[in-house]
Amino acid sequence: MLQLQSTTLRAYNTFGIDVQATRLAEIATSEDILEALEIRQKENRELLILGGGSNLLFTRDVDDLLLLNRLKGISHSFLSEDEVLVEAAAGENWHTFVQFCIENNWGGIENLSLIPGNVGASPMQNIGAYGVEIKDVFHSVRAMHVADGSIHEFDAPTCKFGYRESIFKREQKGKFIILSVSYKLTRRNHQLNTTYGAISQELQSQGISNPSIRDVSNAVMAIRRSKLPDPAVLGNAGSFFKNPVVDNSLLESIRLKYPNVVAYPAGDSHSKLAAGWLIETAGWKGYRRDDAGVHALQALVLVNYGSATGAQIWQLSQDIVDDVHSKFGVELEREVNVY
């Protein structure tokens, strides 16, 4: 039987926001979820699923039925000499899963090392880093329908992946509980992606000319640790904003005033701007207001220096959105889910 408790959520979100949950339970099996769905229906409450709490900003107490996803387990099947299908339960820690795959010489997700959170969030967010996104290796996701407890399987086209987007953040938001995710990875002849960001420079600095997937993972981890704060030390949720995609005409108008604008092609008529560059150029990098601030080394990261409330961090993010829009005509969108 599920044990419901009232508790602070400070330890359950990487921002370290101190809000209260009145109805929290851990789910470790499908039976636990079915029991939770019965409680939800009986009490007529909304449902909130919490994994690693790494992409979430709490701005208020939680009176919904809050379920901590603790589903565990990893299995695999060899598809061929070249490919393996790996299935991980949604409650598995993402970085631990990545390292497990690397230890087995299964390639494709090494660039996603050290991303906080759990496996279940990977298709929801279409998580990505250093030139790789989940959609590149995704096979399918198993999920339980909240309305009736039925099990559904979604393939990549059905998930409608976009930039940090999927149907689980749009039309199916809150309608399914992700149980497990399957990825199609390589067993040999790995296609390494070392051209994005500073990976190649990091490998060169380490004297590595013929990298393995382990070498790429280590390089990514070194880069992330050099730029991003550890949530265990300084509360944060990683990149708070998405890199905006704009029409090339807007890019050119920005470039007239800021020739060093950081942008990448995004189709024939659009470009993706570096949100961190926009925020830093607007003067917000290192800014602090009480215990809410912008990280001194990476302007994309908002931080909690100790006792900031979610409302304070949200207001800081809104001030940044407004200022960037007034200076560049660009509308920033939050990557972090706000509750």
Q: How many residues does the chain have?
A: 339
- Helix, strand or coil for residue 22? strand
- Helix, strand or coil for residue 36? helix
Predicted structure pTM score: 0.86
Residue among 87, 110, 202, 335 flagged as catalytic: 335
The structure tokens listed for 308 are: 């900031």
Residue 86, phi-psi category: left (phi > 0), alpha (psi -120 to 50), beta (remainder): beta
Binning pLDDT at 50, 70 and 90, where does residue 23 land?
very high
Does residue 324 surpass a pLDDT of 90? yes
Residue 95 CA to residue 108 CA, distance in Å, equals 13
Residue among 239, 271, 317, 334 flagged as catalytic: 239
Q: Which residues contact 186 (CB under 8 A, 6 or more apart)?
A: 82, 83, 84, 106, 107, 108
Mean pLDDT across 91-117: 96
CB of 279 within 8 A of CB of 300?
A: yes
For residue range 199-228, list pLDDT tens digits in order: 998 998 888 989 999 999 999 999 999 888
CA atoms within 13 A on the CB side of 283: 5
In degrees and rounded to multiples of 5, residue 298 shows phi and psi of: -145, 110
Residue 129 CA to residue 197 CA, distance in Å, equals 9
Mean pLDDT across 144-151: 94
Binning pLDDT at 50, 70 and 90, where does residue 164 land?
confident
Residue 1, pLDDT score: 82
- Helix, strand or coil for residue 276? helix
Neighbouring CB atoms inside 10 A of 46's CB total: 12
Binning pLDDT at 50, 70 and 90, where does residue 195 land?
confident
Neighbouring CB atoms inside 10 A of 194's CB total: 21
Residue among 164, 166, 224, 271 flagged as catalytic: 164
Residue 37, pLDDT score: 94
Is 239 annotated in the active site? yes
Tokens 């030390």 belong to 233
% of the chain at pLDDT higher than 70: 100
Is 92 annotated in the active site? no
Does residue 184 surpass a pLDDT of 90? yes
Is 326 annotated in the active site? no
For residue range 219-255, list pLDDT tens digits in order: 999 999 988 899 989 999 999 999 999 999 999 999 9
Residue 62, pLDDT score: 96
CB of 276 within 8 A of CB of 194?
A: no
Set out the domains of the chain in order of their start, with CATH numbers: 5-69 (3.30.43.10), 74-227 (3.30.465.10), 235-338 (3.90.78.10)
For residue 60, what is the DSSP state? S
For residue range 247-276, list pLDDT tens digits in order: 999 999 999 999 999 999 998 999 999 999
CB of 182 within 8 A of CB of 139?
A: yes
Tell me whether residue 239 is exposed, middle or buried, using C-beta atoms within 10 angstroms of its C-beta: 0 to 12, 13 to 18, 19 or more: buried
Mean pLDDT across 179-183: 98
